[in-house]
């Protein structure tokens, strides 16, 4: 581990230990801390994913630091360094509504930062079930499907009962009243009777992507060792 400052210790050995690279949650960090982290990664030639980095926070950074970051304002993610050429390992992302899009794109960007492509199939919530049914052929050969939904979170159970893939549920804080804060969707995911469904924390697109990476790489390694075609 290399110290970037007295209050920051970046874990550059994480990929070697776990297969997942270091990433930095920016939301509670100061502008000065973020700038030091970005410069440290660039100086070392390390690829680094930044999460919860809003467009407003980005503009607070020094210009020389901003140019080092490939930033996406919707997902609030930034990438320092060059991502590998994306390959298809069998991941997909399903998004219930347009309000869930920022979390879905966070998951997509986290996968892309590690060189894994994952299409997003958006606005397929259960209020218009035909929209989801039309997408089932696109999901039939996927190994992992990340499902992003707020409100009552019914999409998690519905999709897990229709596809062979492992489904990773990402409840979002979209909704109001009893749905507010994402707790209704989280409870729905955790209480689901659909087998093959696992759940991450509310709005945690990054966490879902990291879980998917471990599953996909394990599957790819198995196929390689047994001479199977992906």
Q: What distance in Å separates the CA atoms of residue 101 and residue 94, rounded to the nearest whole number?
A: 10
Q: Distance between CA 148 and CA 199 in Å, rounded? A: 10
User: 36: which 2 tokens?
Assistant: 């030091």
What is the model's pLDDT at position 221? 58
What the block records as the tokens of 76 is 């609030």
Whole-prediction pTM value?
Answer: 0.88
Query: What pLDDT score does 228 carry?
Result: 58
Sign of CA dihedral 219, 20, 138, 154: positive
Q: Is the dihedral of CA 12, 18, 21, 24 positive or negative?
A: negative
Which residues does the chain have with pLDDT short of 70? Answer: 1-6, 219-230
Q: What's residue 1's pLDDT? A: 44
pLDDT at 225: 55
DSSP the chain: -EEEETTEEE-TTHHHHHS---EEE-TTS-HHHHHHHHHHHHHHT--EEEES--HHHHHHS-HHHHTTEEEETTTTEEEESPPPPPB--SEEEEESSGGGHHHHHHHHHHHHHTTB---EE-S--GGGHHHHHHHHHHHTT-SEEEEEE-TT-HHHHHHHTT-SSEEEEEE-S---GGGGGGHHHHHHHHT---TTEEE--TT-HHHHHHHHHHHHHHHHHHHHHTT---
pLDDT at position 175: 86
List residues bridging with 50 in a β-sheet: 24, 78
């Amino acid at each position: 581990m290399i110290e970037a400052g007295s209050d920051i210790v970046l874990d550059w050995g994480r990929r070697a230990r776990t297969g997942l690279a270091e990433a930095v949650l920016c939301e509670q960090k100061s502008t000065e801390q973020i700038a030091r982290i970005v410069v440290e990664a660039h100086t070392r030639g390390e690829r680094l994913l930044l999460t919860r980095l809003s467009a407003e926070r980005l503009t607070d950074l020094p210009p020389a630091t901003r140019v080092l970051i490939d930033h996406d304002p919707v997902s609030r993610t930034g990438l320092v360094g060059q991502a590998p050429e994306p390959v298809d390992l069998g991941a997909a992302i399903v998004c219930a509504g347009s309000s869930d899009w920022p979390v879905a794109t966070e998951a997509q960007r986290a996968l892309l930062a590690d060189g894994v492509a994952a299409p997003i199939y958006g606005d397929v919530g259960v209020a218009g079930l035909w929209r989801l049914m039309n997408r089932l052929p696109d999901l039939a050969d996927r190994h992992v499907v990340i499902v992003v939904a707020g409100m009552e979170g019914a999409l998690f159970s519905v999709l897990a009962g229709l596809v062979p893939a492992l489904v990773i549920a990402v409840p979002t804080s979209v909704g109001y009243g009893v749905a507010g804060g994402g707790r209704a969707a989280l409870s729905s995911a955790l209480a689901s009777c659909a087998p093959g469904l696992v759940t991450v924390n509310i709005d945690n697109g990054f966490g879902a992507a990291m879980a998917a990476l471990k599953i996909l790489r394990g599957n790819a390694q198995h196929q390689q060792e047994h001479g199977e075609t992906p």
